[in-house]
Structure 1
Amino acid sequence: MYFRTRIFTISILTVSAVLAVVVTLSWSRIMKVELDHLDSRLCMEAKRIMPKHGINSPPPNLLMSKDRELSGSKLIDDLVDKLRVSSSEQLMILVESNKDGILTKSKGDDVQHIISNLNWIDADISEPPSSKRSEPLCQYAFFEHQNNQWRASFYQTPTTQSFMAVDVAATNRELESTLQSTIIVVIPFSLLLSILGAWFIASNTIRPINRLHKSMALVTQKDLSHRLPEHKEDKEFKLLINTYNTMLNRLEESFQQTSRFTADAAHELKTPLTVLRGKLEQAVNCENPSQLDLNAILDEVGHLSAITRKLLLLSQADSGSMALHLEPINMTELLDELTADMELLSDDLILHCSIEKNLILKGDIVLLRQLFNNLLVNVMRYSIFDKGVSIQTNLTGTTLEIRISNACQPISNEVRNQLFERFYRGEPDYTQGISGSGLGLSLAKEIARAHGGDLILEPSENDVFSMRLLLPIVK
């Protein structure tokens, strides 16, 4: 199903449901108001038909027969019109005097029996009317008679009382007829408006999505620089656009990094391969085997092997598949061993070590040795020996913190921000004559992260290089 169709359908169903609820509630409210008005009209008519000029004086237009039953057609017609009923069969009337008895009553029904069985529901008086009351009183009741619902009123004075009831079915039929005639006009018009409104809502909702679709279609593998515009969009779509543009930024950065990594890797591998090829060609053409420089060939092979291993580890880190063979490692002994090797490699190196005893954690001994070798070789290559190298350890909670800092040639902030990029070795003037592939620091950072830690370049003066290694203690 199309998104536009779904929105259109939901809008139609919502409007239809609201319309049905409104009609139902309106019908209930109209019925209640109409019945309240009917009670008031019944009370007024019951009061009107009572004698006003003495007990023996009949009400206006009320004709009396010998059996005192109602026979005045004019009064009936008047009540039928005012109470909006279709015939006199839908009316009950009783007028009674304390002295003369029944003055008039409806034909056919035992009105007195009906009155005696009613439960009056006046808000103030819950008992039936009594002739002992000194003030006129009108009460209301509803009852069922001959399978129809009736509303009744009872009006009383100290000497007379009148009862009047009407079949509610007449009122219901009138209201239903009015409602049906209204619905015939309102429902089609409402449905038409709801259809137009739903289509308008669906079209306006889908329009930003169409714009996004057209903009996204411009983004290709060869052109990731296109970004979606944010102007004139709703807040929700702006959030979506920001998220999409951020994703494109990451993708573009990743593609650029991959392309740069591939080019740098090819360049780094090209040099030892070229040297190795030259040495092998020389060996093939050399008539005197004693003149072969096998050590140079082995050095190039070792250099090539080291680069290949680092590239393999970095690719595993990128894919999240760097395998760790965890085992308990005494970091104190490992650091002591590596710092002793540093002192053997250089007599001029001033080393300041502050290593705590019995630092035990679980890790991959081969990878951690690779990590520290990369860091310490970096220190050996770029440090100013007579100014010293500092190695400090600190155990805080469940984290082992190792700080390695050394004095060096001034390094700009721009260079510092790129030191963890692969194959980046800094400014050429600074690295001239120093061997390396530019993979050491990036590989060390990935190994630290694979162990659940991190390698951070700490802020320092431009002539000081300080690294902070964090490793979790897992016992």
Structure 2
Amino acid sequence: MYFRTRIISISLLTVSVVLAIVITLSWSRIMQVELNRLDARLCMEARRLIPRVDANGSPRYRPIANGSRPSDGQVVDELVNKLRVSSPNEIMIYLEAAETGVLRAPEGVDIEAIINTVSWPSAAPLTLADKSQPKAFCQVGSFEHEQKQWRSALLNVRDQRSFIGVDVAATTRELKSTLNETLIVIIPFSFLLSLMGSWVITSHTVRPINRLHRSMGMVTEKELSHRLPEHKEDKEFQRLIDAYNTMLDRLEDSFQQVSRFTADAAHELKTPLTVLRGKLEQAVLAENPSLLDLNAILDEVGHLSAITRKLLLLSQADSGSMALHLEAINMTDLLDELTSDMGLLSEELVQDCSIDRDLITPGDRVLLTQLLNNLLVNVMRYSLPEKGVTIHACEKAAIIEVVISNVCLPLSELVRSQLFERFYRGESAQTQGVSGSGLGLSLAREIARAHGGDLMLEPSAEDRVVMKLVLPSAK
């Protein structure tokens, strides 16, 4: 189902439910008001049936102007008009008075029995215009007759009483007809407005989605720079557009990194392979193959093997599949061993070591050894020996911190921001005469992160590099 169709369907369904609820509640309220008015009218007409008594004790009849007693037909016709019914069969009249006897309508209905079966509420006094008349008490009730719902009023004045019943459906027939005529206009008009409104809403809603769809269609492996421009969209769609642009930024960075990584890896592997090929060709062309420089070949093979191993570990880190053989590693012993080896390899390097005892971390011994070895080899290659190197290791809040600081040639902010990029070896002034592949720091950071820690470059002076390694403690 299309989004537009779903929105329109939901809108029409919502309008239908709202209309149904409004009509139901409105009709219930209208009926309640109409019944209250009907009750008041029935009480008033029941009072009009009972004649007044003048000063001489003679009855005075209200329905006709000359004061004579009205006929039964006149009473019924007048009530038919006043109660807004279409037939005398839709009303009941009962009058019991000493002067007039009993008046009944319609014929054949035992009104007395109906009066006796109705559950009348307590009588309420009826206010009369003539204050000299005795108080009248009107009771209103409902009953069912011939499968119809009737509303009735019973009035008691002195020794007289009058009863009027009316078919409720007959009194509300005109009201229902008016409501039906109104609904015939309102319901189609409401659905038409709902259809138009939902169409406009969905058109505005799907506009940024269509823009996003067109933008996605323009993205290829050769064109990742296309971005959705920022428009005055709703916040929800603006977040979607921002997320899409951010995703493309990450994809473009990853794609460029992979392309650069592939090119750099090919370049780094090309050098030892070229050397090996040259040595072997010399041996093949030489008159005396015994002069083959096996040591040089072994060096190049070792270099090639080291690059391959680092590339494999970085590939595993990128895919999140770096295998760790966890055990409790004593970082104190490992640092002591590596710093001791560093002192043997570079006797000129001044060391300032402050390593706390019993620093235990869960980790892979081989990988952690390679991590620390990469850091210390980096220090040996690029630091100024006479300035020395500082190594501090301690435990803080269940975290082991290893801070390695050394003095080197001044490094710009650009160089510092790229130190952890793969195959990056800094500027020529720093790398002149120094061998390496530019993978050591990248691999060291990935190993630290695989152990739940991190390796970061701390802020420092231009001629100083401060590396901070954090690892979880096993204590």
TM-score, with normalisation over the residues of structure 1? Answer: 0.91
Aligned to 1:380: 380
Aligned to 2:49: 49
Where does 1:30-429 land on structure 2 (aligned, <5 Å)?
Answer: 30-54=30-54, 56-57=58-59, 59-61=61-63, 71-97=71-97, 100=99, 102=101, 104-106=103-105, 107-121=107-121, 135-158=135-158, 160-429=160-429
Q: CA deviation at 1:159?
A: 5.6
Following the alignment from structure 1 to structure 2, what is the Cα–Cα distance between the partners of residues 203 and 15?
Answer: 19
Following the alignment from structure 1 to structure 2, what is the Cα–Cα distance between the partners of residues 8 and 274?
Answer: 69
Following the alignment from structure 2 to structure 1, what is the Cα–Cα distance between the partners of residues 176 and 258?
Answer: 76
Following the alignment from structure 1 to structure 2, what is the Cα–Cα distance between the partners of residues 96 and 156?
Answer: 10
Following the alignment from structure 1 to structure 2, what is the Cα–Cα distance between the partners of residues 89 and 310?
Answer: 105
Following the alignment from structure 1 to structure 2, what is the Cα–Cα distance between the partners of residues 90 and 260?
Answer: 96
Following the alignment from structure 1 to structure 2, what is the Cα–Cα distance between the partners of residues 390 and 402?
Answer: 10
Q: Is the 8 A contact 1:350 1:387 kept in 2?
A: yes
Q: CA deviation at 1:239?
A: 0.8
Following the alignment from structure 1 to structure 2, what is the Cα–Cα distance between the partners of residues 317 and 116?
Answer: 95
Cα distance per residue 1:116-152 (max 9 Å; x no partner): 3433336968xxxxxxx95333332222233321111
Task: Give me the CA root mean square deviation.
Answer: 2.4
Following the alignment from structure 1 to structure 2, what is the Cα–Cα distance between the partners of residues 471 and 260?
Answer: 30
Q: Is the 8 A contact 1:355 1:391 kept in 2?
A: yes
Q: CA deviation at 1:327?
A: 2.3
Q: Is the 8 A contact 1:156 1:162 kept in 2?
A: yes
Q: In structure 2, do the counterparts of structure 1 residues 108 and 62 end up closer, same or farther at CA, with 3 Å as the change threshold?
A: farther
Following the alignment from structure 1 to structure 2, what is the Cα–Cα distance between the partners of residues 152 and 422?
Answer: 97
Helix, strand or coil at the partner of 1:310: helix
Following the alignment from structure 2 to structure 1, what is the Cα–Cα distance between the partners of residues 417 and 269?
Answer: 25
Q: Is the 8 A contact 1:423 1:439 kept in 2?
A: yes
Aligned to 1:26: 26
Following the alignment from structure 1 to structure 2, what is the Cα–Cα distance between the partners of residues 419 and 382?
Answer: 13
Q: Is the 8 A contact 1:62 1:72 kept in 2?
A: no
Following the alignment from structure 1 to structure 2, what is the Cα–Cα distance between the partners of residues 167 and 311?
Answer: 95
Q: In structure 2, do the counterparts of structure 1 residues 37 and 431 end up closer, same or farther at CA, with 3 Å as the change threshold?
A: same
Q: Mind listing any 5+ residue stretches in structure 2 that lack a counterpart? A: 126-132
Q: CA deviation at 1:158?
A: 4.2
Q: Is the 8 A contact 2:354 2:392 kept in 1?
A: yes
Helix, strand or coil at the partner of 1:462: coil
Helix, strand or coil at the partner of 2:59: coil
Q: CA deviation at 1:113?
A: 3.5
Q: CA deviation at 1:434?
A: 0.8
Cα distance per residue 1:167-224 (max 9 Å; x no partner): 1121243333333333333333333333333333333322332222222222222111
Q: CA deviation at 1:447?
A: 0.5
Aligned to 1:129: none
Aligned to 2:128: none
Q: Is the 8 A contact 2:418 2:424 kept in 1?
A: yes
Q: CA deviation at 1:89?
A: 2.0
Q: CA deviation at 1:419?
A: 0.4
Q: In structure 2, do the counterparts of structure 1 residues 389 and 124 end up closer, same or farther at CA, with 3 Å as the change threshold?
A: farther
In structure 1, give the amino acid aligned to 2:447: I
Helix, strand or coil at the partner of 2:465: strand
In structure 1, give the amino acid aligned to 2:207: R
Following the alignment from structure 1 to structure 2, what is the Cα–Cα distance between the partners of residues 312 and 123?
Answer: 99
Following the alignment from structure 1 to structure 2, what is the Cα–Cα distance between the partners of residues 370 and 124?
Answer: 101
Following the alignment from structure 1 to structure 2, what is the Cα–Cα distance between the partners of residues 337 and 24?
Answer: 87
Cα distance per residue 1:321-351 (max 9 Å; x no partner): 1111122322222111111101101221111
Helix, strand or coil at the partner of 1:411: coil
Q: Mind listing any 5+ residue stretches in structure 1 that lack a counterpart? A: 126-132
Q: In structure 2, do the counterparts of structure 1 residues 86 and 304 end up closer, same or farther at CA, with 3 Å as the change threshold?
A: same
Following the alignment from structure 2 to structure 1, what is the Cα–Cα distance between the partners of residues 3 and 84?
Answer: 53
Following the alignment from structure 1 to structure 2, what is the Cα–Cα distance between the partners of residues 198 and 314?
Answer: 53
TM-score, with normalisation over the residues of structure 2? Answer: 0.91
Q: Is the 8 A contact 1:94 1:102 kept in 2?
A: no
Q: Is the 8 A contact 2:406 2:465 kept in 1?
A: yes
Give 4+ residue runs of structure 1 displaced > 6 Å after superposition.
Answer: none
Following the alignment from structure 2 to structure 1, what is the Cα–Cα distance between the partners of residues 158 and 310?
Answer: 115
Q: In structure 2, do the counterparts of structure 1 residues 122 and 175 end up closer, same or farther at CA, with 3 Å as the change threshold?
A: farther
Identity %: 64
Q: CA deviation at 1:442?
A: 0.4
Cα distance per residue 1:222-272 (max 9 Å; x no partner): 111110122132221111100000000000011111111111111111222
Following the alignment from structure 2 to structure 1, what is the Cα–Cα distance between the partners of residues 190 and 452?
Answer: 64
In structure 2, give the amino acid aligned to 1:112: E
